[in-house]
Amino acid sequence: MIITYLGGESVKVQFGDTILSFNPISKDSSLKPAKFGADIVLSSLNNPDMNGVDQVTFGDKKPFAITGPGEYEVRGVFIKGLPSESNYDGGNAASKDKFINTIYTVQLEGMNICFLGGLSQTELPKETDEEIDGVDILFVPIGGNGVLEPSKAYKLAVSMEPKIIIPIHYGDLGAKDALKIFLKEAGENPTPTSKLTLKKKDLEGKDAEVVILEKE
């Protein structure tokens, strides 16, 4: 499995010939979208910063788009979409309104991915929490302004007992010093890496290890 961070909340996960795109950036976003071909798109929130299915429809790749709660099996990949809430309204903005945010769990190569998307709740809904079990790789938004604030994001992340924590939704989105605050809370200062290549055996002995991915 190869994980690449593309800015905002956009993450590309590749295993073999199959490519998953989490929250791809739309051409209507203020962020710069990455153009590539995906087989499966998982969009957490109907917002231009996270719903760019058009940007990952490329060449002979016409992705299967998942945009809400439910259970899915696509190309042998098992996916659950679980409901939660977000106050994210685009750019660096928070809203008084609540939007449906879909948390995704994905089983790949014997590893369990959990992608929190634009989550703003510091506690997961009971029904959603019960469906999440044995997280290996957790993607957590940390930028505030409609998603989790960095200190609360870290506390929630640790409570989910993942092997690896990967922060998203900072830098171009959210509070300016969100990553600094998050790492201070974690008591870690990992060296950023351009890509994360993982096999199941690589997770042995890891406990809430923070990994910082450089924006590609």
* Residue 41, domain CATH: 3.60.15.10
Whether residue 34 lies inside any domain: the answer is yes
Whether residue 126 lies inside any domain: the answer is yes
Which DSSP category does 39 fall into? S
Range of the domain at 204: 2-210
- Percentage of the chain surpassing pLDDT 90? 91
pLDDT band at 59 (very low <50, low <70, confident <90, very high): confident
Give the global pTM: 0.96
Question: Tokens standing for 75?
Answer: 């190309």
Distances (CA, A) of 157 to 47, 123, 166: 24, 10, 9
pLDDT score of 130 more than 90 = yes
In the prediction, which pLDDT does 93 show? 82
pLDDT score of 151 more than 90 = yes
Q: For the chain, how long is the longest CA-to-CA vector?
A: 45
Whether residue 185 lies inside any domain: the answer is yes
In the prediction, which pLDDT does 103 show? 98
Whether residue 201 lies inside any domain: the answer is yes
pLDDT score of 175 more than 90 = no
Nearest to 42 by CA among 99, 140, 112, 115: 115
Whether residue 189 lies inside any domain: the answer is yes
Whether residue 216 lies inside any domain: the answer is no
Strand partners of residue 21: 12, 41
Whether residue 146 lies inside any domain: the answer is yes
Whether residue 215 lies inside any domain: the answer is no
Task: Give the phi and the psi of residue 128 in degrees, each rounded to 5.
Answer: -70, -45
Strand partners of residue 81: 70, 104
The total number of structural domains in the chain stands at 1
pLDDT score of 205 more than 90 = yes
- Give dist(CA 156, CA 176) in Å, integer: 21
Distances (CA, A) of 156 to 31, 94, 142, 190, 213: 27, 20, 11, 20, 20
In the prediction, which pLDDT does 42 show? 98
Q: List, in sequence order, the alpha helices (H) in the chain.
A: 126-131, 150-159, 178-186
Q: What angle do CA 92, 38, 194 make, to 5 degrees?
A: 60
Strand partners of residue 66: 42
In the prediction, which pLDDT does 83 show? 97
pLDDT score of 91 more than 90 = no
Under the phi-then-psi rule, with left for phi > 0, alpha for psi from -120 to 50, and beta for the rest, what region is 33?
beta
